[in-house]
Amino acid sequence: MGRIKVGISSCLLGQQVRYNGGHKHSSLCNGELARYFDYVPSCPEQGAGLGVPRPAMRLQGEPEAPRAVLVEDPGHDLTEALARYAAQRMPSLAGLCGYIFIAKSPSCGLFDVKIHRPDGTLQPRASRGLFAAALVRAMPLLPVEEEGRLHDPELRQSFITRVFAWHHWQQLCREGLSAAGLQTFHLRYRASLRARNPAACEDLEQLLSKAFVQLPEALAARYFRQLMRALEPVPSATEAWQR
């Protein structure tokens, strides 16, 4: 089996695409995780034509719908440029099995990205970066994580498990769904489910028992949705709101 395709913020691979011309090379992503994954890099800010180096930007406005503006010139709004890039990029990301983002970025941050008010003070709630938010909206079940959090062994194992589950599910769908195929797929992840969420595992097994009397296709979407949610790490209060 070839390595699984996972999207990643380009700077984490050592590409010098950050606003200051630097990078955020990740030894974890380029070491341990690279044994499993074939990376598909993206830099939304560079992709939106903002150049390298470029003026720093930040998120401003309301947490539910922040705008991307330049730090030194808040009247210069980059939101639409980033939105156009995201819309153009999404179709090419449809084959991914996961995504690793750089933290705190106004485009790529997945959690706790600061939102400023027009007067420069911070909103009490944080948000996602604009590109990360667009990807999560487009593919809400796709396994996503921030590079920094992957240094936590439990979060790293959760992400890897979810990526492999996504990959194997896509294989199963291509081969054709059947009651036996669903049961075999479930057995592959049963131990992880039992350890992480026994109640969810029981619910999924009750659902699968119906596959022998109903068409598997009728249960597949519901089963996979519940599986991916059950395999997720327990979110903090902030992460729960951002999800």
- Nearest CA among 61, 58, 60, 80 for reference residue 71: 58
pLDDT beyond 90 at 138: yes
| CB neighbour list of residue 143: distance below 8 Å, 6 or more residues apart | 97, 98, 99, 159, 162, 163, 165, 166, 228
Angle of helix 153-175 relative to helix 216-231, nearest 10 degrees, comes to 170
Asked if the model's pLDDT at residue 230 lies above 70, the reply is: yes
Average pLDDT in the chain: 93
- Which residue type, as a one-letter code, is found at position 168? H
pLDDT at 242: 54
Lowest model confidence (mean pLDDT) among 55-64, 106-115, 175-184: 175-184
Question: Structure pTM?
Answer: 0.93
Q: What is the pLDDT of residue 213?
A: 72
- Residue 152, token pair as written in the block: 């936590």
Residue spans of the domains in the chain: they are: 4-151, 176-231
The end-to-end CA distance of the chain, in Å, is 32
Half-sphere exposure for 197 (CA within 13 Å, toward CB): 16
Confidence of residue 2 (pLDDT cuts 50, 70, 90): low
Kindly indicate the confidence band of residue 130, based on its pLDDT and cuts at 50, 70 and 90: very high
pLDDT score at 175: 92
Could you give the CA distance from residue 64 to residue 210 in angstroms, rounded to a whole number? 39
β-bridge mates for residue 39, sequence order: 6
**Using 50, 70 and 90 to split pLDDT, how confident is the model at 234?**
confident
Residue 210, pLDDT > 90, answer no
